[in-house]
Amino acid sequence: MSEVKYKRILLKISGEALMGDASFGIVPEVISRVAEDIFEVDRLGVEIALVIGGGNIFRGLAASSYGMDRASADYMGMLATAINALALQDALERMGAQTRVQSAITMREVAEPYIRRRAVRHLEKGRIVIFAAGTGNPYFTTDTAAALRAMEIHADVLLKATKVDGVYPADPLKTPGVKKIERLTYLEVLQKQLKVMDSTAISLAMDNDMTVIVFNLTKRGYIKRVVMGEPVGTIVEGEENG
């Protein structure tokens, strides 16, 4: 473990990452590839917790914009994250990983209830813990859930997996030639309204000095590279750490 920079990580994966180039749902080949990258890091002895979004199945904020009650829409989104969590659990266990799914909404037949001390114990025993249903509360995103869980389990770093190589001042797909930002402070993210994570998640990370690394999940082996401390993606941290 001497070559590994981070011993315990919280990895936030968007639901959209599981659908690849499809417009909806889960693509088996994609979730298997993501699981392979996670399992590769698990075999290094790194303690891994995961938070998965549900945007590939249902997005509460989008539904509320069409007139659905926001709380009801958000609860539907939480159920979508549980579907993704079970799918990723299955993919990981087929590879030989030990996993547990913990849900912030009680659904005992398919997942454990979220209990912080039990989650930490699972991690200590080498199990990958997948947190489903966000925080269990409407109006809070899975980004905020990831920041909250990272703090609760005392993770060394919060990893935000996206479809791009890091944070850019403009959309790199629409603005050719724009350069990636290598390092940011929490305040810069908030003041410039950069789309790293929502402001609640960033504020929570800032208040608790939790380093956030944004990187590209679609490139094979990048989770391992981040864990090994290689300069991958964009690092968000306090000014005193820069």
Tell me, yes or no, whether 2 lies in a domain. Answer: no
The whole-model pTM stands at 0.93
Tell me, yes or no, whether 3 lies in a domain. Answer: no
Phi, psi (5° rounding) for residue 99?
-135, 160
Tell me, yes or no, whether 48 lies in a domain. Answer: yes
**Beta pairing, strands 157-162 & 112-113:** unpaired
Phi, psi (5° rounding) for residue 203?
-65, -40
Question: 58-79 burial by CB neighbour count: b if 16+ within 10 A, else e?
Answer: bbbeebbeeeeeeeebbbbbbb
pLDDT in tens, 168-196: 988 887 888 899 999 999 999 999 989 88
Cα separation, 80 vs 202, in Å, equals 24
Q: Specify the pLDDT at position 242.
A: 52
pLDDT in tens, 70-95: 999 999 999 999 999 999 999 999 99
Nearest to 167, CA basis, from 235, 226, 224: 235
Tell me, yes or no, whether 133 lies in a domain. Answer: yes
Residue 239 has pLDDT above 90, yes or no: no
Tell me, yes or no, whether 75 lies in a domain. Answer: yes
Higher pLDDT, 163 or 111: 111
Tell me, yes or no, whether 234 lies in a domain. Answer: yes
Residue 173 belongs to domain spanning: 8-241
Q: Specify the pLDDT at position 2.
A: 54
The domain tally of the chain equals 1
Tell me, yes or no, whether 1 lies in a domain. Answer: no
Tell me, yes or no, whether 205 lies in a domain. Answer: yes
Domain of residue 161, CATH code: 3.40.1160.10
Nearest to 149, CA basis, from 232, 70, 81, 240: 81
